[in-house]
Amino acid sequence: MDYVGRQQRLREALPANRLDALLITHLSNIRYLCGFSGSAGALLVSPAGSTFFTDGRYTEQAKSEVQAAKLVVARKTPLTAAAEWLGRKWIASRARKSQTLGIEGPYLTVAARRGLSDGLPRHIRLREAPPLVERARMVKDADEILAIRTAVDQGAALFDRALQVIRPGVREIEVAAEMEYAARKGGADAMSFETIIASGARSALPHGRASNAPIAAGGFVVCDFGVILHGYCSDRTRTVYVGAATTEARRVYEAVLASQQAAIDAVRPGVNVSRVDRVARKTLQQNGLGPYFTHSTGHGVGLEIHEAPRVAQGQPEILRPGMVITIEPGVYLPGKWGVRIEDMVVVTEQGCEALAPTQKEFIVI
The contact set with Zn ion (CB under 5 A) reads 224, 235, 237, 326, 342
Task: Please say whether the beta carbons of 335 and 359 come within 8 A.
Answer: no
Identify which of residues 29 and 326 has a Cβ nearer to Zn ion in the complex: 326
Identify which of residues 99 and 237 has a Cβ nearer to Zn ion in the complex: 237
Smallest separation (angstroms) from Zn ion to the CB of 40: 28
d(CA 4, CA 141): 13
Burial 267-295 (b: 16+ CB within 10 A, else e): bebebebbbbbbbbbebbeebebeebbee
Smallest separation (angstroms) from Zn ion to the CB of 322: 19
Identify which of residues 72 and 305 has a Cβ nearer to Zn ion in the complex: 305
DSSP state of 85: H
Identify which of residues 25 and 326 has a Cβ nearer to Zn ion in the complex: 326
Identify which of residues 50 and 326 has a Cβ nearer to Zn ion in the complex: 326
Smallest separation (angstroms) from Zn ion to the CB of 345: 12
Smallest separation (angstroms) from Zn ion to the CB of 342: 5
Distances (CA, A) of 118 to 83, 92, 96, 363: 9, 17, 17, 60
In the chain, the amino acid numbered 269 is: P
Smallest separation (angstroms) from Zn ion to the CB of 184: 19
DSSP state of 331: E
Identify which of residues 274 and 296 has a Cβ nearer to Zn ion in the complex: 296
Smallest separation (angstroms) from Zn ion to the CB of 287: 22
Strand intervals (E) in the chain = 21-24, 42-46, 49-55, 70-74, 99-103, 124-128, 190-191, 196-199, 219-225, 227-229, 232-233, 236-242, 298-300, 307-311, 324-327, 330-333, 337-340, 343-347, 352-354
- Which distant-in-sequence residues (6+ apart) come within 8 Å of 243 by Cβ? 168, 216, 217, 218, 219, 364, 365
Identify which of residues 7 and 326 has a Cβ nearer to Zn ion in the complex: 326
Identify which of residues 116 and 182 has a Cβ nearer to Zn ion in the complex: 182
Smallest separation (angstroms) from Zn ion to the CB of 235: 4
Task: Please say whether the beta carbons of 293 and 284 come within 8 A.
Answer: yes
Smallest separation (angstroms) from Zn ion to the CB of 217: 26
d(CA 57, CA 35): 17
